[in-house]
Structure 1
Amino acid sequence: MKNILKQIAAQLHLWLGMISGLVVFVVALTGCLLVFEEELEPVLYPDFHLVEAHATERRLPLDHLAGIVSYKYPEQQIQRITMEQERDRTIVFNLKTKEKEGFSVAIDPYTGRITGDRDEHEAFFSVVLRLHRYLCLEETGKVITGISCVCFLVIMITGLVLWWPNRKNRKQRFTIKWGAKFKRLNWDLHAVAGFYVLPFIFLIALTGLVWSYPWVNEQLQMAFDGKPPTKKEAPDNLPHAKKDQAVFEKIYAQTIRELPHRGSIAMTFGKSGKQAVTVSRRDDEAAVDNIVSFLYFDQKSGALISRRLYENESRGFKARRLVFPIHTGSLLGWPTKILAFLAALVAATLPVTGIVIWIGRKFKSKKPKKVKALYGKKRVQAKVLTQE
């Protein structure tokens, strides 16, 4: 029974690996880069994100900065304003054109100088993310990565069955023999290294299903709340509100008072003029990552309409918010990011080392082997060709 189970596991491991290997390689390799997106983005685009800031300098009013952007780009509508916590960071305005969304403008908050603009779809990490999620193939790619993710989960389970040690090979199953010949070293890198990162990559792949299959997201929140998730929308603006000339600065000041913790702030404007301004602030002082609270303001007067604080959210919503930091490794900061990076890096090597193992077994050369045959009471040695 045990041998039959291992034979089934071996066939599933082989053929599912053949089907999904290339996709797993691309997704894992791009995942390595995305782990440190937040740290690498300013390094890749310093002019877009960084400015020189002195301790005595004061930021220009947001409404003034928004006026500069609107003057420079009169045909485009401001959709979002993003402000980072650090003083040496630009303020980024996301704009919408008639043709497309995803155009961004960075401005120096102290001088009002526009430091750069770009199409977000062409930015490096945007391309990496599209490769990671759907191979830059839109819905078709999303189906492919979703199926490959499920295959990879089965591959890890069958791999554990094949790796499972017995009394004779227990030491070998836990140790990489770095000084061994290539064939043995390649097997160790595939099986032993794969075993050590298995809990991490299994969790990463499992949480990845949330983006591939909407029903996984629904079932997650159903498990915690007992009901499907509801769509969160901004309320309508206040009726007959008076226009405030410094509405953005007023919203910003109120946000700081309501949410005094450290963290980036994003103001998002509804697609229709009826919806209130949604302001989100990330809590960088929280024990885990991706903790965000929301405030809603009247678009004309800047009056606070309602609050949606993280501590008042449902258990299902909180569980869903944890999926992203678990998947990316940002849950507990640098320690979990490094773990996620190493796990994803090893995961990217598994299809390569697996193919090498398969090629070695498939095209193994035939070697003469001595066997002993018993004829009556005499033993004679005969050389026969055997294939291992």
Structure 2
Amino acid sequence: MTDNSISFDAATAAAGTSAHSHDRRFYLAAWRWHFYAGLFVIPFLLILSVTGMMMMYIGYFDGRDGENITVSVPLEATALSVSRQGEMAVKAIPGGTIVEWLSPKTADSVSVFRVKAPDGIQTMVAVEPYSGGIVETWVRRDGWYDFADNIHSDLLLGDPGDRILEIAAGLAIVLLISGVYLWWPRGQRLRDALVPAFGQSGRALVKSLHGVVGIWVSFLLLLFLLSGMSWTGVWGTKLVQAWSTFPAEKWDNVPLSDQTHASMNHGAMSDVPWALEQTLMPASGSQAGVIGIAPGVPVDIDSLSNLAKAAGFNARYRIAYPKGETGVWTINQDTMSADAEDPFSDRTVHVDRYTGRVLANVGFADYSLAGKTMAVSIPLHMGLAGLWNLILNTLVCLSVQVLCVTGILMWWSRRPSKTALRFFAPQVPENRPHWRGAMVLMLAVSMAFPLAGLTFLVVLTLDLLILSKVPGLRRVFA
């Protein structure tokens, strides 16, 4: 009996030690992945969070397309016709042609016309609706908002920058997953893992703050990363968007152009809904569609604005002028462009330039599940759903900056002296199978995002063929 008890206790202790050793090895493996992913990601997360805040606050206070410019409303004043306002706008840009009209969102807001000059430069012209006076002009997509947006989109490097940010976002997801595993309470109360240990100091306080802030912001940061990646060139455009775009085949017996909705965009800024970007535009020049503008009524900007009001467009909306002989008039309202704060009101209507017939009428309900998700998540990502959204996103951006700074501080304080030429990464677990298991898990996650997965494969190949073979490099990356 006694012998059996002793044997049983020894076996239990041995099993516990083995389980603890197993957990410890996996923890070290996850920590090493977390470290090296962070090493690459931190600079880009800082750039994205700072430029993201710049865009939100510039957009909220100053506006992107003149939506916040106001004028005095004369007593008993009646707004001029849109066509008359347009004539005044064109006079400000000699030889220019109107490309788009942005309706005032309130009675004291300006009308804004996008005018294309003979040299191709597009200028926004803000017009006082009651007198037709020019309030302000500015070159489109040439302000501080757009500078921040270009950095946020592709680091001012074009496609290479887009690919770099896509890799960073994919690795940031790996960073999140490994971070949650490292944070997971082990032998402590959940409450202690959710509240910073302000009673401690030094590295212990920094580590507690890093873990607590990270877990609180992790879900929102994941949504930000996924919605941001949906605009990227490979995972977003080639995979997710290509399979989730609105099918033009749903427009019965409507002639189609060879141009997609993306042709309405300008530079890095997207002006049309994500779900429609890769959808072919309808074409004018047939009797297709349903009656929009009554027969005999001229199809011009005035009748289009009346049609928009009759169709129920609320808040601010835009009307894009036809491009070319088969181009169409397009009435559009979407939250992503700061037209409204309600993504469920998003709507795009195409009208034949000759007959005034409605060729397509696409609303939020017509999108695929991915399209609906993006229609909601993009405005939230951009802080366009109201003041509460701006405040929430500000907290997320500040939290990301705290995570980056505390991560660097933890690494720096952990480094022994005289290791300037070493990264001093978390040690590789002694039992390699567990390290490989963590590697397989992280590769499975990263392979869901092709560029991140490819980056992992390149790094692992370099590690096996070069870094682990050259003593000097092995010491640096150890």
Shared fold, TM over 0.5: yes
d(CA) in 1 for partners of 2:201, 2:235: 47
Q: Quote the residue 1:187 is aligned against.
A: 207
Matched, 1:122 2:142: yes
* Counterpart contact for 1:220–1:320, Cα < 8 Å: no
* Cα deviation, residue 66, structure 1: 0.8
* Cα deviation, residue 215, structure 1: 4.3
Q: Quote the residue 1:274 is aligned against.
A: 326
Residues 282 and 24 of structure 1, relative CA distance in 2, 3 Å threshold:
closer
Higher strand share: 1
Q: Quote the residue 1:310 is aligned against.
A: 363
* Cα deviation, residue 6, structure 1: 1.2
Residues 90 and 348 of structure 1, relative CA distance in 2, 3 Å threshold:
same
Matched, 1:64 2:117: no
Q: What residue ranges of structure 1 are gaps of 5+ in the alignment?
A: 366-388
d(CA) in 2 for partners of 1:238, 1:38: 40
Q: Quote the residue 2:37 is aligned against.
A: 16
Q: Which amino acid aligns with 2:47?
A: V
Cα deviations by residue, 1:206-249 (Å, 9 ceiling, x for unpaired): 1111011454354367479899985141431458x999778211
* Counterpart contact for 2:49–2:400, Cα < 8 Å: yes
d(CA) in 1 for partners of 2:65, 2:236: 36
d(CA) in 1 for partners of 2:351, 2:113: 18
* Cα deviation, residue 271, structure 1: 2.9
Q: Which of 316, 323, 332 lines up with 1:264 in the alignment? A: 316
Q: Which of 138, 152, 172 lines up with 2:172 in the alignment? A: 152
Q: What is the DSSP-based 3-state SS (H/G/I as helix, E as strand, rest coil) of the residue aligned with 1:126? A: helix
Q: What is the DSSP-based 3-state SS (H/G/I as helix, E as strand, rest coil) of the residue aligned with 1:104? A: strand
Q: What is the DSSP-based 3-state SS (H/G/I as helix, E as strand, rest coil) of the residue aligned with 2:141? A: helix
d(CA) in 1 for partners of 2:94, 2:384: 38
* Counterpart contact for 1:221–1:319, Cα < 8 Å: no
Residues 127 and 338 of structure 1, relative CA distance in 2, 3 Å threshold:
same
Q: What is the DSSP-based 3-state SS (H/G/I as helix, E as strand, rest coil) of the residue aligned with 1:64? A: helix
Q: Which segment drifts farther, 305-314 or 269-278? A: 305-314
User: What is the identity percentage for the equivalent residue pairs of Structure 1 and Structure 2?
Assistant: 18
Residues 168 and 231 of structure 1, relative CA distance in 2, 3 Å threshold:
closer
Matched, 1:49 2:69: yes
Q: Which of 151, 161, 176 lines up with 2:181 in the alignment? A: 161
Cα deviations by residue, 1:114-148 (Å, 9 ceiling, x for unpaired): 11111223212111111111112211211111111
* Counterpart contact for 2:245–2:279, Cα < 8 Å: no
Residues 247 and 292 of structure 1, relative CA distance in 2, 3 Å threshold:
same
Q: What residue ranges of structure 2 are gaps of 5+ in the alignment?
A: 1-21, 250-274, 288-292, 419-478
Q: Quote the residue 1:368 is aligned against.
A: none
Q: Quote the residue 1:328 is aligned against.
A: 382
* Cα deviation, residue 337, structure 1: 3.7
Q: Quote the residue 1:236 is aligned against.
A: 284
Residues 361 and 285 of structure 1, relative CA distance in 2, 3 Å threshold:
closer
Q: What is the DSSP-based 3-state SS (H/G/I as helix, E as strand, rest coil) of the residue aligned with 2:332? A: strand
* Cα deviation, residue 306, structure 1: 2.7
Q: What is the DSSP-based 3-state SS (H/G/I as helix, E as strand, rest coil) of the residue aligned with 1:121? A: coil
* Counterpart contact for 1:153–1:202, Cα < 8 Å: yes
Q: Which segment drifts farther, 354-363 or 220-229? A: 220-229
Q: Which amino acid aligns with 1:247?
A: D
Residues 246 and 107 of structure 1, relative CA distance in 2, 3 Å threshold:
farther
Paired residue total: 361
d(CA) in 2 for partners of 1:116, 1:356: 47
Q: Which segment drifts farther, 64-73 or 309-318? A: 309-318
* Counterpart contact for 2:103–2:317, Cα < 8 Å: yes
Q: Quote the residue 1:297 is aligned against.
A: 351
Residues 123 and 290 of structure 1, relative CA distance in 2, 3 Å threshold:
farther
Point out 4+ residue stretches in structure 1 off by more than 6 angstroms.
Answer: 44-48, 223-229, 241-246, 283-287
Q: Which of 313, 319, 323 lines up with 2:373 in the alignment? A: 319
Residues 224 and 304 of structure 1, relative CA distance in 2, 3 Å threshold:
closer
* Cα deviation, residue 165, structure 1: 1.1
Q: Which of 178, 193, 201 lines up with 1:173 in the alignment? A: 193
* TM-score normalised according to structure 2 size: 0.67
Q: Which segment drifts farther, 32-41 or 105-114? A: 32-41
* Cα deviation, residue 41, structure 1: 2.1
Q: Which amino acid aligns with 1:3?
A: R
Matched, 1:30 2:64: no
Q: Which segment drifts farther, 156-165 or 226-235? A: 226-235
* TM-score normalised according to structure 1 size: 0.81
* Counterpart contact for 1:262–1:285, Cα < 8 Å: no
d(CA) in 2 for partners of 1:34, 1:176: 30
CA RMSD of aligned residues (A): 3.5
d(CA) in 2 for partners of 1:300, 1:52: 37
Matched, 1:351 2:388: no
